[in-house]
Amino acid sequence: STVSGFNGSVYTHSDLKSNCLIVQGADVSAYQNTIDWQKMKSSGVDFAIIRCGGRFSASGELYPDSHFQEYMDGAKAAGS
C-alpha cells in the first residue's frame, strides 16, 4: 500500500508494483485560473502537466491556452 502525500488516500498495489516509485502530479489548464505553485509543490506534487492549447471542434483551428506561459514560469520557479 502507498499513502498519497498529496491527499492522504491509500492506494493498494499488486506485488508487481512493490518496487515502483509513486509520484504525484497535477494536470492544469486555464480552467484552474490562479495557481499557487509553491503551495502545490509543498503539498507533495512532484510534477505538472500543463496544457499548451486546444482545438476548436467545429473548425479544427488550434488555439493557445491563455495561462500556458504563466503556468510554465510558475512551475519552473517552484521546481516542478
26 neighbors 49 (Cβ within 8 angstroms): yes
pLDDT in tens, 26-71: 999 999 999 999 999 998 888 999 999 999 999 999 999 999 999 9
For residue 25, report the phi and psi dihedrals to the nearest 5 degrees: -130, 165
Q: What is the model's pLDDT at position 19?
A: 74
Q: What is the model's pLDDT at position 6?
A: 65
SS3 category, 15? helix
The whole-angstrom separation of Cα 13 and Cα 34 is: 34
